[in-house]
Structures are given as structure tokens and as C-alpha cells.
Amino acid sequence: MIEAQRTIKEFVDYVLLGKTTVSDLSELATHLDKLTYSINHVNYEFDETDYPDAPDRNYAESRATVEKRFPELGYYNVVEDISENIESTKARFQVITAISSCSEQIVPPPHK
């Protein structure tokens, strides 16, 4: 659990508090890979008494920071519904912005 917490903190610090004005997408990708791995391979029992509340973060502010730090992030396609017919013309795709995806790793967007 400690390793996952450290990885999460490193990711958030890199994205929101990065000291350089020049973004490094390979470094961002490394942080995202570590984040994905650590979250998927952590074993824990959640006990609310042992963990402080999550920091109060503003999605719009976090997104603005990501946009400023990584202006070259663009769009990518994702399969909307994965099914047996993935190769058919019935498969539908969504276009997602990488800025939103990265921002949502820090703080979820507000519910509509």
C-alpha cells in the first residue's frame, strides 16, 4: 500500500507541481504506467480511521494545469462497447481527450 501511495503522490506532484515549463511526454507516460501498475497490484483493506480525507482539489484548476503543462496532448479513440463483434462495423468508438484523461487521474470531474 505504501508503494501505491508514493506512486500516486509522485504522479500528482509531477503533473501539478512540475518544476519545468517544458513537458516531457515520455516522463508523463512513465508516471502513468507506474500509476496503473501500482493501483492494479495493491492489496489492502480499507479502514477509514487510518486514512485522512482526500485533499479537496478543484477539477477545473487541475485541468487548466494539465493543459498548460502538456499542451501537445491530443485526442485518441477508445472502443465504446467491447463485444464479440469488435471487427464488424457495429463497433462504436469514442474520441477522448488525453488532457481530460490525465486530469481525471488527479480529481474526478464534477457530476452533471
Residues with Cβ within 8 Å of residue 59, at least 6 apart in sequence: 103, 104, 107, 108, 109, 110
At residue 94's C-alpha, the angle toward residues 25 and 62, to 5°, is: 45
Identify the band that residue 103 occupies on the pLDDT scale cut at 50, 70 and 90.
confident
pLDDT at 105 over 60: yes
Over residues 14-23, the pLDDT tens digits come to 888 876 655 6
pTM summary value: 0.62
Q: Rounded mean pLDDT of the chain? A: 78
Over residues 84-98, the pLDDT tens digits come to 666 666 667 788 888
Closest among 106, 103, 41 to 67, alpha carbons compared: 103
Distance separating alpha carbons of residues 61 and 70, to the nearest angstrom: 14
Give the pLDDT score at 90: 67
Over residues 35-88, the pLDDT tens digits come to 888 877 777 666 667 666 666 778 888 889 888 888 888 888 887 766 666 666
